[in-house]
């Protein structure tokens, strides 16, 4: 498992697979389990692989992700990509939170390939996060990459740390938003975006 240390401009990989396995093995023992019994024998290995997948966002090179999929097109109306499923990890309890992301931008001479917006969401979701920060990171990345007239991001999330522990509220949903450019200054653009989110989708 490769992880990265942020040293400013350079991400330096460090190999953590063995260390993660040993930490899981120790945690099981501290909780009163026998990590050598049949059902748990390979659990540390599985957990290490799982965290490698769930924290893959730390490893993504943003330039390679975009891969020149930005196109010069004279289109200045709203582009909306909605209902992007995501899974992330709460950085406070290391439990999952999950839901959907809705993204809109108004191009200023440049558009991005459709598949790249879900990949941008994945890049920021697949790591230890809080929903508020993830929302802002998605909006800022798209804004910095495309320099559009405006960007709007809405995230709807359900948090296991509030569902299976603590307040134990299964139906509580957190909604966060981040707006940039014209979406911040013009309520009509915001209203149009929110209206489009209410439209039924192709599979409904």
108 flagged as catalytic: no
Domains parsed from the chain with CATH numbers: 2-54 (1.10.286.10), 69-198 (3.30.1130.10)
- Indicate the pLDDT class of residue 22, thresholds 50, 70 and 90: very high
pLDDT at 201 over 80: no
90 flagged as catalytic: yes
- CA dihedral of residues 182, 187, 189, 191 (deg, nearest 10): 150
Record the tokens describing residue 176, joined without a space.
Answer: 């966060």
The stretch 59-66 carries a mean pLDDT of 94
91 flagged as catalytic: yes
100 exposure class (CB count in 10 Å sphere: 0-12, 13-18, 19+): middle
Query: pTM (2 decimals)?
Result: 0.89
Selected catalytic residue, list 21, 129, 131, 137: 131
Selected catalytic residue, list 45, 93, 108, 156: 93
Selected catalytic residue, list 90, 102, 122, 149: 90
129 flagged as catalytic: no
């Amino acid at each position: 498992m490769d992880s990265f240390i942020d040293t400013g401009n350079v991400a330096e990989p460090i190999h953590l697979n063995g260390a993660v396995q040993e930490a899981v093995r120790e945690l099981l023992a501290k909780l009163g389990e026998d990590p050598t019994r049949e059902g748990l024998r390979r659990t540390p290995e599985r957990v290490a692989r799982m965290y490698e997948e769930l924290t893959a966002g730390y490893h993504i090179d943003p330039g390679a992700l975009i891969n020149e999929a930005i196109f010069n097109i004279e289109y200045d109306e709203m582009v909306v990509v909605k209902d992007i499923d995501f899974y992330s990890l709460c950085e406070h309890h290391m439990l999952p939170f999950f839901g959907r992301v809705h993204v809109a931008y108004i191009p200023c001479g440049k558009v991005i390939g459709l598949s790249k917006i879900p990949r941008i969401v994945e890049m920021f979701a697949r790591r230890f996060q809080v929903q508020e920060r993830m929302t802002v990171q998605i909006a800022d990345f798209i804004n910095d990459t495309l320099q559009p007239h405006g960007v709007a991001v809405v995230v709807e999330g359900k948090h296991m740390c509030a569902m299976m522990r603590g307040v134990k509220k299964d139906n509580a949903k957190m909604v966060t938003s981040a707006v940039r450019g014209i979406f911040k200054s013009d309520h009509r653009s915001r209203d149009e975006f929110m209206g489009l989110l209410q439209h039924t989708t192709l599979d409904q």
